[in-house]
Amino acid sequence: MPSMENAHALVVGIANYQMIKRLPETVLNDARDIQTLLIHSNYCGYPSENVQLLLDEQATRAALCQALATLAQNTNADSTVFIYISSHGGRVDFGPHQGEYLLPVDADSTSGASLAATAILSTQFTEALRAIPARKLVVVFDCCHSGGIGQPKDAEAPVLKAGFSDNAYEALKQGKGRAILASSRSEEFSYVAQGAANSVFTQHFLAGLKGGIASDDGLIRLFDVFEYLQPRVTGAFPDQHPIFKAELEENFPVALYLGGQKGAIPQVEEGFRYDAYISYVDQEPDTTWVWGTLVPRLEDAGLKVAVSGDSENPGVARVVNMERGIQQSKRTVLVLSETYLSDSMATFENALGQTMGIQEGTYRLLPIKAMPIETSSLPVRISMLTTLDLAHPRRAEREFARLIEALRQPLPRL
C-alpha cells in the first residue's frame, strides 16, 4: 500500500489584504478545500500534523517566512513538499525596487521601502525553497485573480502590477526535483466562474485529486496533474493557460490516488492512451478554433485527445512532454494554417510524429486545414498526405465526419 507519511505541505490563502486591493472570498475557499483534501485519508493521505494552513491575517510576512523555515527543518531528501499559494503576486518593472514579489496579508506598497520590508521578494522566496532539502517539491500558484492590485495615491510609490513574470517562475524552479505549477501566464487572468465556490484552476485541481487524475499504482504523479488540469482550464477559458516549469529526474508522486487504491489508466484501441494528439500553434485565430471548435467536436464524439500547449522544453497540455504525447496518441492531427507552417516548434512536432510513423511502418500524421491556405506552401512530406479541409464553407461538416471516423479507425499501416 503506497504511503505519503513523509509528505509535508504549506497552504496559503489571502483575500482580505490590509493595505492593497482585496481578492474574492473564493481564494479562502480554495485554500481550505486544498488543505482538507490533502489530509483526507480517502484522498491525498498527507499526515494532518504535516500540513499547515495560513489564511488572511495568519499569512503575514513573518508567518510565511517561518512556515518555509519550518519546512526546511522538518523535511529530508526523501520528503515530498507541496506548497499551494492563492494570493496576490506582484511585480515592479522599473526603479530601485524592481522585482517580483509574493504579497503577504500585511504587504504595504505605499513606497518602495515599505514594499521591500513587507513583501517577499522572489529571490528571497527562491532562497527559502532552496533551503528545503526535499528532492520532490512542487509549488502551486493560483494568483492573478484580479487585473490589478490597486495603486496608492503617492506618486513616488512603485507601480505594482499583478502577477509573476516567466523569469520569476524560471528562477523558482531551479534545483533538481523542483517544479512550479501556475494557474495562468503572467499577462492573463485566473478566472472565477460566476457563482462558483472555487477558482476555475483550483476547481479542476480538486476534481483531479478526488480521483479524476488516472492512476494504476495508487499514486497521483506530477506530470499527470498538469496533464489533467491544462485542457480543462483552457477549455473553460481559452485565454487562461496554466504553465509548468520543472527541473525533474522523475515523475514523482504528489498525493495518494483515492487513499492509495489502484485504479486503471484507460486506453484506446491498440494500447494508446489518446486517439489524437492535436498539433497547433497557440496564436489567434488558431487558439480559439482549436479550443472552441475542434476539441469540443472530438470530445463530443467520444474521442480522447491530447493537445499541444503550454509546458516547457517543449510543452504539451495534457501530457507535459511532447514526445510522450505523440507516442501515446494513435494519430497526430496537424492544424494547418499560415501560422502553423511558419512555426519551428510545430515543424518539430509534425516531423517527430512522422519519424515515429516511419519507424513503426504507420501513418501517424493526419493533416487538416483550419483555415484557407495555399496548398503549394505545404512541405512535400505533408502535401503527399490526404488533407481534410475543415475550412471549406460547404464541405466542413462532411470533413469533420471523415476526421472523426479516421480517428476511430486502427492506425493505418504503410
0.85 exceeded by the pTM?
Answer: no
State pLDDT tens for residues 306-360.
887 544 433 334 344 677 788 889 999 999 999 999 998 889 889 999 999 999 9
Segments in 148-256 forming alpha helices (H)? 166-172, 200-207, 222-236
> What percent of the chain shows pLDDT beyond 90?
55
Q: What is the pLDDT of residue 312?
A: 40
Specify the range with the lowest mean pLDDT, choosing from 112-126, 131-145, 157-171: 157-171
pLDDT value of residue 93: 80
Distance from C-alpha of 266 to C-alpha of 37, rounded to nearest angstrom: 24
Burial tier of 152 (Cβ tally within 10 Å: 0-12, 13-18, 19+): middle
Determine contact, residues 181/225, Cβ cutoff 8 Å: yes
**Per residue in 67-84, pLDDT tens?**
999 999 999 999 999 999
Provide the pLDDT for residue 150: 41
Cα dihedral sign, 331-335-339-341? positive
Q: Nearest 5°: CA angle at 9, between 249 and 127?
A: 65
Task: Tell me if 367 sits within 8 A of 334, measured CB to CB.
Answer: yes
* pLDDT single digits (tens) 365-406: 999 998 888 878 889 999 999 999 998 888 999 999 999 999
Mean pLDDT of all residues belonging to the chain:
87
- 154: pLDDT confidence band, cut at 50, 70 and 90? very low
Q: Is the pLDDT of residue 254 over 90?
A: yes
- Has residue 163 got a pLDDT over 80? no
259 pLDDT above the threshold of 90:
yes
Q: What domains are defined for the chain?
A: 7-260 (3.40.50.1460), 269-408 (3.40.50.10140)
**Does the pLDDT at position 247 exceed 50?**
yes
pLDDT at 29: 97
